Amino acid sequence: MVDFIAGFSVAGVIFIIVIYAYLKGVPVFDAFVEGAKEGVKAAIDVLPVMVGILAAVSILNASGLVDILTGLLKGPLSLIGIPAETVPMLLLRPFSGSASLGLFTEQIKTFGPDSYLGKALSTIMGSSETVLYILPVYFGAVNVKNTRHAAAASLIASYTGMLAAIYICRIL
């Protein structure tokens, strides 16, 4: 059932919207093309932001900093019940979507998807976003320079969620 919903959702949503609009007498294709034109411009506006973010993330990933920080942080974090194995994920998740997904795919095979660690990592992945990709892209698209407290509030929310996932999976 879950697989069906997940697989059908994109086509299903388009189907419902287009059929409903057509029956209401909307010139559906004309409306679609008109809207799609705006999409091109918005995507091009985002390109420079994307290049900047991915460049910084790639330097960080290739430098080996995550390994060094994991070594430094795993001791103190284990005192508050955070397993050392989850530390690289906690460090990577808000920065790099592709790196955290790669790490997740690797770790879940090592620990087993139904083990405590496997569940905790799955929950972290399923309930968090790449904060430092989303914010620059969204704000960059509208030329906002001063994002005020957006990054701080988002990172607080993201880390609260990730730590909560680690504790919740221990109980559930």
Partner 1 sequence: MLNAIWAIMIFAGVITALFTGRTKEISDAVLASCVSSIQLIITMVGAMCLWTGVMRVAQKAGLVDKLAKLLRGVFKFIFPGIPKDHPANGAIAMSISADLLGLGSAATPLGIMAMKELSNINGNSPTASNAMVMFGVLNSVCIQLIPASILVIRQQAGSVKPSSIMPAVWITSLISATTGIVAAKCMEKRGL
> Is residue 88 near partner 1 by the rule CB under 8 A?
no
> Is residue 102 near partner 1 by the rule CB under 8 A?
no
97-132: b or e for each residue (b if 16 or more CB lie within 10 Å)?
bebbeebbeebbeebeeeeebbbbbbbbbeebebbb
Helix (H) or strand (E) holding 72: helix 65-79
115 DSSP 8-state letter: S
Contacts with partner 1 in 12-51 (CB under 8 A)?
13-14, 17-18, 20-21, 24, 26, 28, 31-40, 42-44, 46-47, 50-51
86 or 128: CB nearest partner 1: 128
57 or 77: CB nearest partner 1: 57
Contact 119, 39 (CB under 8 A): no
Contact 95, 132 (CB under 8 A): yes
Contacts with partner 1 in 47-86 (CB under 8 A)?
47, 50-65, 68
Mark residues 107-126: x for contact with partner 1 by CB under 8 A, - for none. Answer: -xx--xxx---xx--xxxxx
Quote the least distance from Cβ 19 to partner 1, whole Å: 10
Contact 123, 104 (CB under 8 A): no
Range in contact with partner 1 (rule: CB under 8 A) among 70-78, 79-87, 155-163: 155-163
Handedness of CA 49, 50, 51, 54 (dihedral sign): positive
Quote the least distance from Cβ 90 to partner 1, whole Å: 13
> Is residue 127 near partner 1 by the rule CB under 8 A?
yes
